[in-house]
Structure 1
Amino acid sequence: MKPLAALPCRLAAAAALLFTGLLTTACDSTPRERQEAVQDSARKLDTAAHKAGAALKRAGRRAARWDSASRARNRQPLDTVATTAFVQELLGTYAAIEQLPVTSLEPAYVQLLRQTRAKRRQWTQRDWDYATAVFNRLNRHYRTTRLDLPARQELRIKALQAEFEALEAGRDLKDLREAVRDQPAAK
């Protein structure tokens, strides 16, 4: 137990010795030597700040390009045939969204999330646009029938909606991170 109790004293002694060594070294140098050391450190710091600023500027440009491409893609109308195919693929037997009875609303969301979880890794951003269109149609129907739902089902549907939005946001972040990633310079 004694060696551990003496540890803080040893550390303090070592720190004092190091500090004293720095003071005596500083005392042994000339003002010009100290000035050169400070200027050298300032140059290194300036270079590091310049490199970080350039990397940040590149990342900002890439993020702006990604955002611009995303906005352009969102302005393009969705193909009705592809939308119908996505509705059938994601909802299966619940594809007739506007005719779904209140009792089938929760299973439709479960089906949508099951398919989304299974296929999301292979989807492009355009595929996500179609999936979001299906999700939005289902949400519109939910809003019209919500007052007829039991509270328990409504809570489950809210949780499923939140999960879908989280999956979509995760994909957006992943794509943005890849777009902004600083590529190594070619030699």
Structure 2
Amino acid sequence: MPRTTEHRAPCIVVTGVAGTGKTTVARLLAQRMALPFAEGDDFHSPTAIAKMSAGTPLDDADRRPWLDSIGRWLHERDTAGSGGIVTCSALKRRYRDTLRAACPSVFFLHLTATRAQLLDRISKRTGHYMPTSLLDSQLATLEPLALDEHGATLDASPAPRTVADTATRLIPGPAR
């Protein structure tokens, strides 16, 4: 009998603008749910990283290969039945559509916070190429999850463990 999505481990994309805590929350979820984890930033090309490091926002052409790579990663985990969690800003619906085309059952966990919280978090990060100057372009680009998109939106203001606790209850999948 073929496996249905209800019996498969979920494929999850933790989305949001820079500073929402995508990586921290995704790692906690991956650990709790015993799912493979991938950091979406690792899928960027060196050219895209250099562009962002210089304070230049990526355009759709820059994002396409990145989204395709993340989509392949999701598709592989979905096909294998292992599920997985990956971070990806996925700011626009069409970006999420690209990921959904690769993995139709994908669940989007969209994290939000106030601009002031985001600026504070980004300014305190070390070793990351994303400057605070790009936050406003991300906020302007952001298209929140629509009601017909498979996912949930969570306020990322509480401690990451609290956000992960709430997210764990919202994410569909086998009993945890």
Whether the TM-score (by the shorter chain) exceeds 0.5 is no
The higher radius of gyration belongs to 1
Which protein has the bigger helix share? 1
Which protein has the bigger strand share? 2
Q: With CA pairs under 8 Å and 6+ residues apart, which has the higher RCO, 1 or 2?
A: 2
